């Protein structure tokens, strides 16, 4: 019977592509990764597919995860979230294409399938940020807008938006007890 390895040994085994570490990633982080994907995609099936595809891609790419990248949990969470955002953007694009094809007036709505800002610990933590940092971070995290789109929407210079997002993210991470 394999004893549960420590975080360091587990991350090192994942970096070294030891098969048991791939299974262990599902055991340890499955719920977090699934929830992360679900909050973006709003569908259980899509969320599961997204977790599988993101982890498979990481596993199959040589040197995708290096120990110098920091905590494996954070790395995989960001990989799954980015995969989910890519899928969501593709879904929005396809829907707009369909609208074009059907010769209906294009709607500039964003995907409204998910009630994005749930009443949760994250929302409470966001309230602790000054509004000029909170708003761009909300647009980035919950609405998946690029920094260019955010700057346009808030009518702020790009550099200002970048700084505020970076500053807001670090403050929020500290408030939520993020550790590398």
Partner 1 sequence: MTDHLGELAALYALGILEPDEQRAAEEHLTHCDACRRLLAQAEADVAAMAAAQPQLEPPGMLRAPQPALRAPMRNPMWLAVAAAVAIAVLPSGYLLQQNLAMHQSELMESQAMARLMTGPHRTVAFAGTDARVMYAPDGSWYCIIVRGASAPFHVMWSHDGTQTMLGTAMPHGDIALLYLPKSHRMDQLSLMQDGHVVGQAQLVF
Does position 15 bind partner 1 by CB under 8 A? no
Find the shortest distance in angstroms from Cβ 135 to partner 1. 14
Determine how many CB atoms are found less than 10 A away from the CB of residue 32: 14
Output the smallest distance, CB 92 to partner 1, in A. Answer: 10
Answer for which of 7, 8, 9, 97 binds partner 1 (CB under 8 A) is: 97
Whole-number Å distance between alpha carbons of 106 and 102? 10
Question: 80, 87 in Cβ contact below 8 A?
Answer: no
Residue 151 within binding range of partner 1, rule CB under 8 A: no
Binding-site member from 5, 12, 28, 34 for partner 1 (CB under 8 A): 34
Contacts of 180 (CB under 8 A, 6+ apart): 70, 71, 74
Residue with tokens 């954070």: 74
Q: Which DSSP category does 68 fall into?
A: G
Is 69 a binding residue for partner 1 by CB under 8 A? The answer is yes
- Which of 57, 128, 130, 152 contacts partner 1 by CB under 8 A? 57
Among 11, 41, 129, 140, binds partner 1 (CB under 8 A): 140
Decide if residue 65 touches partner 1 (CB under 8 A): no
Count how many Cα atoms sit within 13 Å of the Cα of residue 51 in the half-sphere of its side chain. Answer: 22
The residue range among 3-11, 95-103, 127-135 that interacts with partner 1, by the rule CB under 8 A, is 95-103
Is residue 43 a contact residue for partner 1 (CB under 8 A)? no
Alpha-carbon span 172 to 174, nearest angstrom: 5
Site string for partner 1, 157-176 (x = CB under 8 A): -----xx-xx--xx-xx--x
Residue 82 interacting with partner 1 (CB under 8 A): yes
Chain-centroid distance of CA 45 in Å reads 17
Which C-beta is closer to partner 1: that of 6 or that of 71?
71
């Amino acid at each position: 019977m394999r004893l549960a390895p420590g975080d360091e040994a587990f991350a090192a085994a994942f970096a070294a592509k030891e098969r048991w570490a791939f299974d262990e990633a599902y055991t340890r982080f499955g719920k977090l990764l699934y929830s992360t994907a679900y909050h973006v995609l709003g569908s259980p099936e899509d969320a599961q597919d997204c977790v599988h595809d993101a982890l498979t891609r990481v596993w199959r790419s040589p040197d995708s995860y290096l120990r110098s990248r920091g905590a494996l949990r954070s790395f995989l969470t960001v990989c799954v979230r980015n995969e989910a955002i890519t899928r969501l953007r593709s879904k929005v694009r396809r829907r707009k294409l369909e609208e074009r094809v059907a010769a209906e007036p294009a709607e500039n709505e964003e995907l409204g399938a998910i009630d994005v800002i749930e009443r949760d610990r994250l929302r409470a933590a966001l309230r602790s940020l000054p509004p000029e940092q909170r708003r761009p971070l909300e647009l980035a995290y919950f609405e998946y807008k690029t920094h260019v789109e955010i700057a346009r929407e808030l009518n702020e210079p790009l550099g200002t938006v970048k700084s505020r997002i970076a500053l807001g993210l670090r403050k929020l991470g500290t408030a939520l007890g993020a550790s590398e």
